Amino acid sequence: MKKKRGVKKGHIAAFFVIVAAFAALIASNVLDHAEEISLGLDLQGGFEVLYEVHPIDEGQQMDRELLTDTVAALNARINVLGVSEPNVTIEGDDRVRVQLAGVTDQQAARELLATEARLSFRDVDDNLMLDGSDLVEGGARQSFHPDTNQPIVTVTLEDANLMGDVSQEIMQNPDNRMAIWLDYDEEDTFYEEIQKEDSKIVSAPTVRSVLRTTDIMIEGNFTVESAQQLAGVLNAGALPVELEELSANAVGASLGERAMDQAIYAGFIGIGLIFAYMIFYYRFMGLVALVTLSIYIYLVLVVFNWMNAVLTLPGIAALILGVGMAVDANIITFERIKDELRSGKSTMSAFRAGSRRSLSTILDANITTILAAAVLFYFGTSAVQGFAVMLIVSILTSFLTAVFGSRLLLGLWVNSRVLNQKPRMFGVKEREISEL
Amino acid sequence: MNFEHENTKIDFVKHRKKFFIFSGILLMTGVILLVTLGLNLGIDFRSGTTVEVLADETVTAEEIAGEFQELGLEPDDITLAGGANDIARAAFIGALGQQETLEVQAHFEELYGNTPNVSTVTPIVGEELARNAIISVLIAAVGIIIYVTIRFEFLYGISAIIALFHDALFILTVFAIVQMEVNIPFIAAVLTIIGYSINDTIVTFDRIRENMSYEKRIKTFDDLARVVNKSLVQTLARSINTVLTVVFAAAALFIFGGEAIRTFSFALVVGLVAGTYSSLFIAAQLWMVLKWKQLQRKKKQRTAEPTEA
């Protein structure tokens, strides 16, 4: 029998220092990172609409620029609503998806988003008198009517003479009302629309004298809030396009929370079972796997937070599945080491040969899966994309932790010589070992 | 579980025809079922509205139907869910209007204190997602074949892709049989299984490649069968341990993960079983049959050449 060489205590100390350092790092900020990750609609509740974009004018080209303008205009509008983390994305050639997490008043949000905010001033025969291009940009505001103290919206014209001419013209009509329209369409007529309960005509004041002024007061059935929103939308600018609602999805927040709690609870159980099995089956190596898997979960959370990605239910599922992939990399390596031990190699050379031989297997398996995930990300839409992102992040991180992390940590123990002649620590029985 | 390589003699190859026939019949049935019965398509693939009500107490379908009747609405289907049957899902074929949606939300919020989920979808979105996913998988399959051809050899790539489609079709077949509702996360699950299946098959093939390089000359069919058997036995512990750990995670999601991901996790569990089965009994055997044909063709060419000259 070989003489047992001295144990290198420094290696074991290094192992505990590394583990302690990571434990301290994880304990100190894992909760901060977990809390900073923005949650998808399915987890925190909110409101999602998918719009199809149609150009307003016949001659308008449907192109990328028009879509980008639409997104910019929608973002400006959402600011009026005061949503903290809106998500407006272009999908395909003519779609825009708007996700508003945590929005409580869905009706207001829907109306605010879809209105084109094209303000126009017309006579009762629907002839155009003034439109948005005659207004000072950003000149709309909410104020109160000087006489009635009702909330109103005032807009500013670029030239006082404009209003003078218009009011003079309208005064001469037998029906001397001036209709203030929002989103007038070719087929709309004044007398039909004014009857409607939810009319596109915001107000129709009677013009009795020539008004040479730049300020126009729009009275309507406003509350302070709705007047503020209309002013905000007018300032944010008209949408360059017409939006058709393809689908709308409202998620109640309490259901989201519940789904989240359940998924996390299930995740803990699943990961706990994996840990228990790994230690039971691979003994000492399982313990190392437990350390690297914990680091893996922590790193995925940190990377996800850095990327500002949105975590959804399929994302959580991909994260938990990623744990499975990380475990797989460990298992492939550990099985190889066990093979080498069984063939009669010493602990140190079994560790070296096992690590080396398992690398190409893990590499090929991971690259093919990443290839599939990358294609999904490139061609998929929202839900599939979120899943693919999480899968790619998981695989890359698992490769780092399971291959390099496990190798480093296990290597410290193996090279300390403490484990020499102790195949049972690796889950290998003495009688399985064949003589060289 | 312990697999002592020297003492374990399992013949994975001998019964290959039975496995091919079993899978063939199963998948054929699957295709017939998919064409005739079809999948139970959820609201993601149909035009309509689902209202998910979270009640603060146990409810019955009749109670919920009664509440909708007060609003003048008649759901096409009501299902109960949740640990204490405190979630009710009412499906309407055909979309609810904005006014109706608001009424429903206000009504149930007043009743239970929770705003119900209202999802309105036109099927275009779901259909397009599914079509997108299928196209993506086809593109990914080509990519995988190219990668595997470069790293391994063309026959490995073809066998791996056949195993991949086997697993995907297997899940669809099971869902056609149990008629569980198919939603968008289901697509994510099928995609996961495709990734897993590839991962699993490649690990086995990697071992076959390694063992093939140790062989000096493959002369008989038995030589080839021996290599494949040896490789499968050597990777058996890894295959079983990996699938067990992933099944732990998927089963935990299925049992404790809640309604929202039940379809997803069920599809995962089914797919993992299919993936392991195909890696152990289909993929390597398929490669072996193809490889043997290739070897024989080469042999014929070699014996034919001298007579020509």
Encode pLDDT of B22-70 as tens digits: 999 999 998 999 888 888 877 667 767 778 787 777 878 788 888 888 8
Whether residue B294 lies inside any domain: the answer is yes
Number of domains present in the structure of chain B: 2
Residue A200, SS3 per DSSP:
coil
For residue B1, name the pLDDT band (cuts at 50, 70, 90). very low
* B140 contacts on A by Cβ (under 8 Å): 371-372, 375-376
pLDDT of residue A2: 47
> Smallest Cα–Cα separation from B21: which of B243, B285, B293?
B285
A76 CA: distance to closest CA in chain B (Å): 24
Measured between CA atoms, the residue of chain A closest to residue B209 is: A361
Higher pLDDT, A238 or B197: B197
Whether residue B177 lies inside any domain: the answer is yes
Q: In angstroms, what is the C-alpha Rg of chain A? A: 33
Highest mean predicted confidence (pLDDT) among A134-138, B138-142, B240-244, B270-274: B270-274
Residues B153 and B275 in one domain: yes
Distance CA A329, CA A292 (A): 11
In this prediction the ipTM stands at 0.72
> Once rounded to an integer, what is the mean pLDDT over residues A323-352?
85
Distance CA A134, CA A116 (A): 17
Q: Rounded to the nearest 5 degrees, what angle is found at the Cα of B40, between the Cα atoms of B38 and B44?
A: 120
Asked whether B191 and B264 are in contact (CB, 8 A), the reply is no
Residues B114 and B256 in one domain: no
* A263 contacts on B by Cβ (under 8 Å): 253, 257-258, 260-261
Side-chain-facing half-sphere of B145: CA atoms under 13 Å: 14
Whether residue B271 lies inside any domain: the answer is yes
- Residue type (1 letter), A424: R
| % of chain A at pLDDT higher than 70 | 89
pLDDT tens string A169-225: 888 888 888 888 877 877 788 888 888 777 778 788 888 777 778 888 888 778 887
Residues B103 and B215 in one domain: no
Residues B161 and B202 in one domain: yes
Measured between CA atoms, the residue of chain B closest to residue A275 is: B245
Interface test with A, best of B50, B121, B135, B136 (most A CBs within 10 A): B136
Asked if the model's pLDDT at residue A96 lies above 90, the reply is no
- Of B68, B89, B121, which closes a domain? B121
Quote the longest CA-to-CA distance of chain A.
118
pLDDT of residue B285: 93
pLDDT of residue B126: 66
Give the tokens for residue B135.
């196209």
Contact B206 A324 (CB under 8 A): no
B30 CA: distance to closest CA in chain A (Å): 25
pLDDT of residue A377: 82
Whether residue B306 lies inside any domain: the answer is no
pLDDT of residue B308: 47
For residue A1, name the pLDDT band (cuts at 50, 70, 90). very low
Query: Going by DSSP bridges, is the β-strand pair A201-203/A179-182 parallel, antiparallel, or unpaired?
Result: antiparallel
- Of B106, B121, B136, which closes a domain? B121
Q: For position B101, which CATH number holds?
A: 3.30.70.330
Residues B156 and B235 in one domain: yes
> Smallest Cα–Cα separation from A88: which of A56, A35, A116, A51?
A51
| Per-window interface: A 229-258 vs B, CB < 8 A | 246-255, 258
Please state the φ and ψ torsions of residue A181, each to the nearest 5 degrees: -100, 150
> Touching check for A195 and chain B: CB below 8 Å?
no
The structure tokens 């579980």 sit at B1
Residues B129 and B266 in one domain: yes
- Of B98, B121, B144, which closes a domain? B121
For residue A382, name the pLDDT band (cuts at 50, 70, 90). low
> Touching check for A379 and chain B: CB below 8 Å?
yes
> What is the domain extent for residue B115?
48-121
Contact A317 B265 (CB under 8 A): yes
> Smallest Cα–Cα separation from A395: which of A334, A335, A319?
A319
Asked if the model's pLDDT at residue A90 lies above 90, the reply is no
Q: What is the DSSP string of A62-119?
A: --HHHHHHHHHHHHHHHHHHT-SS-EEEEETTTEEEEEEET---HHHHHHHHH----E
Whether residue B307 lies inside any domain: the answer is no
Residues B144 and B243 in one domain: yes
| Per-window interface: B 155-174 vs A, CB < 8 A | none
Q: For position B198, which CATH number holds?
A: 1.20.1640.10
The structure tokens 């059935």 sit at A221
Whether residue B142 lies inside any domain: the answer is yes
Distance CA B286, CA B240 (A): 20
Residues B221 and B232 in one domain: yes
Distance CA A260, CA A192 (A): 49
DSSP letter at A135 equals B
Contact A372 B194 (CB under 8 A): yes
Residues B230 and B283 in one domain: yes
The phi-psi region of residue A220 (left if phi > 0; otherwise alpha if psi is between -120 and 50; otherwise beta) is beta
Residues B252 and B188 in one domain: yes
> Touching check for A143 and chain B: CB below 8 Å?
no
pLDDT of residue B116: 81
A264 CA: distance to closest CA in chain B (Å): 8
Question: b vs e for B140-154, b when ≥16 Cβ sit within 10 Å of the residue's Cβ?
Answer: bbeebbebbeebbbe
Whether residue B33 lies inside any domain: the answer is yes
Residues B116 and B144 in one domain: no
Residues B89 and B195 in one domain: no
Distance CA A402, CA B207 (A): 20
DSSP letter at A207 equals -
The phi-psi region of residue A102 (left if phi > 0; otherwise alpha if psi is between -120 and 50; otherwise beta) is left
Question: b vs e for B51-66, b when ≥16 Cβ sit within 10 Å of the residue's Cβ?
Answer: bbbbbeeebeeebbee
- Residue type (1 letter), B44: D
pLDDT tens string A265-300: 888 888 888 889 888 888 888 888 889 888 998 898
Which residues, 6+ apart, have CB-to-CB distance to A263 below 8 Å? A313, A316, A317, B253, B257, B258, B260, B261
Distance CA B130, CA B140 (A): 15
Q: Which long-range CB contacts under 8 A does B29-34 form with residues at least 24 apart?
A: B29/B173, B30/B169, B30/B170, B30/B172, B30/B173, B30/B176, B31/B169, B33/B173, B33/B176, B33/B177, B34/B172, B34/B173, B34/B176
Mean pLDDT estimate for chain A: 79
Instruction: For residue B239, give Cα distances in angstroms to B85, B168, B244.
Output: 39, 19, 9
Quote the longest CA-to-CA distance of chain B.
93
Distance CA B58, CA B78 (A): 14
| Partner residue opposite A331 with nearest CB, options B2, B140, B242 | B242
pLDDT of residue A256: 61
Whether residue B223 lies inside any domain: the answer is yes
Give the tokens for residue A30.
């894992």
Contact B4 A339 (CB under 8 A): no
